Amino acid sequence: MRHRLITATSAIVLALATGASAADISQDGANAIRDNLNHLLPKDIAKSQPVTVKPAGSRYEITYDFAKLLEKVKKQDFEIKGLVPFKMFATPQDSGLWNLEGNNNLSVTGHFGGPDKARTDFTYSIAQMDFTSVFDPAISYLRSGDFSAKDLKISSTTDTESVNASFGDMVYKLSSADSATAGRLDFAANGKFSAFAEQVSGKEMPPIQISADSLDFDAKVNGIAAKDIKEMVLFVLDHADEKQLTKESEAKLKGMLGNAFPLLSSLEETIKLNNLAVTSAVGSGGAKSFGYHFTVDGPSNATRIGVAMDAADVTLDSALVPAGYTAFLPQALDIQFGVPGMDFAAFADEFMKMDFTKSTDDSEKAGQQAAEKLFPGGILKVDFPKVSAKSSVYDVEVSGELEGRVDTQKDYKLNASIVARDYDKTIAAIQELAKTNPDLTQASFGLMMIKGFAKADPDGAQRWDVAVASDGSVSVNGQQIKGPDAPATEEAAPSDETDPSDEAAPSDEATPDETAPSDDAAPSDDATPSEETKP
């Protein structure tokens, strides 16, 4: 069975058996690895044996002939030139792990046709790629590794657009360790790209140049069920051609799913661009730093997914921004938001109820029901711990939480705190602009009125605690400034106890006598028809 073959091999880069040692290096071993690797390919491609393996002292030399791998691609839709064989060396360890290493380069050109038959020409080149790593057949993945590359260049050209990008150097490091949860692993990766540059141009747009001194990245994944995930991937590969599973296969899959959940305990990723610069015909700008942060954390029944972005020392020089308004452009930004309280435990429980022996449509419906369990009670929450913007004339920060139902956009509530520091400076700046732009006079009055609702923090900042209830009422610092919305009765069918006239319920501003007709549709005493309306 194909599953047994794949399970004994790597689903990613190698088909390496465990328990080998340097003394086992032989042509028979090389042939076994070669056959396993080629066996993973489509039959028509495997016939040409694009993967070759041979003994090389105390290790195996594995060669991938990419030209043979692409032989069956339609030439009129795709062509690539300059491919050379990719070589790597695999050395078995007494522990059952394998040391992998390689030194290669890449320089190719070609073209391909998209769905609309439009042609795209491309070039990819890497002057040098080096890596040393440790591969674990038990998880079909690397346990550690050091990777580097020099002079990376990419270009893509169509009839309407051209993109050119490059990096000077790249370094990347991967490590792993046993997790606090038995049988699971923690992975960490970090690295840097230097001298990033990109240029985009087109027939209908002037060239835009983007550059950064460096791009740093850091990632951590804790408590990942690596072995169980491997088994599930191999199971899916083994049953990819089956329209539906047998009861026996379904039971096996659900057993693997049960062992694998939760797939991980936490995830964290950070990307940072240093000395970012953007130049175009309409102006230039940039930031000393621009960062992106993504997290998944918390217990499986109350997981939070968070996103954060920040920029420091932001600049913008453009003729599109009048000189008097440049002070209002943000010089620093910090945006943090997330979705808390997601119940992946309930999702997993519901997912396990799915019947994988039925049709795809039934599985999709069951999958949708499982997804709905992610949000307890059908309530979606979005928190924003900090959303701030600063310039020389303002310093504003907002925090709070938005809550609503997943099945409607109307029933929601909001609690937020708005803090403004140096608020009088902001008002003064608007008033100064109003001297040359009278339209801003009303804006300055509005800011002063808003200040009247504020309460002062100990540091002198102005604060507005805003609450929007699900009935539409709004309060600021405990003072209601808007009452509840009128019921949307025109969208609801009347109940048995309700008079039909309730279908046209009046608004808060209208009296019942002015709007609701009697049973015989006669006008009320207070609303005698005029001569123009009498029949």
What DSSP assignment string belongs to 259-278? Answer: HH-SS-SEEEEEEEEEEEEE
- Average pLDDT over every residue of 478-488: 86
Residue 245 in domain: no
Residue 527 in domain: yes
pLDDT at 269 exceeding the cut of 50: yes
89 closest CA partner among 65, 41, 54: 54
- Average pLDDT over every residue of 416-443: 92
Residue 242 in domain: no
What are 299-328's pLDDT values in tens digits? 999 999 999 999 999 999 998 888 888 999
259 Rama class: left (phi>0) / alpha (psi -120 to 50) / beta: alpha
pTM: 0.79
Residue 518 in domain: yes
**Residue 528's pLDDT band (boundaries 50, 70, 90)?**
very low
**Residue 437 confidence (pLDDT):** 86
R_g (Cα) of the chain, nearest Å:
32
184 closest CA partner among 254, 263, 301, 296: 263
Q: Which ranges constitute the DSSP H helices of 146-215?
A: none
d(CA 42, CA 237): 13
pLDDT at 497 exceeding the cut of 50: no
Highest mean pLDDT among 2-16, 416-430, 493-507, 508-522: 416-430
171 closest CA partner among 216, 105, 106: 216
Residue 524 structural domain: 486-535
**Segment (H or E) for 230:** helix 226-238
Q: What is the DSSP letter of 477?
A: T
Instruction: Mean pLDDT check: name the lowest of 187-196, 203-212, 234-243, 404-413.
Output: 234-243
The strand pairing partners of 90, in sequence order, are 60, 100
**Residue 474 confidence (pLDDT):** 94
pLDDT at 154 exceeding the cut of 50: yes
How many domains, in total, are found in the chain? Answer: 1
**Segment (H or E) for 3:** helix 2-7
Residue 281 in domain: no
What are 440-455's pLDDT values in tens digits? 889 989 999 999 999 9
Residue 404 in domain: no
420 within 8 A of 395, measured Cβ to Cβ: yes
Instruction: Mean pLDDT check: name the lowest of 33-42, 172-181, 187-196.
Output: 33-42
455 closest CA partner among 477, 478, 485: 477
d(CA 452, CA 80): 68
234 closest CA partner among 18, 33, 1: 1
d(CA 474, CA 471): 9
pLDDT at 18 exceeding the cut of 60: no
Residue 523 in domain: yes
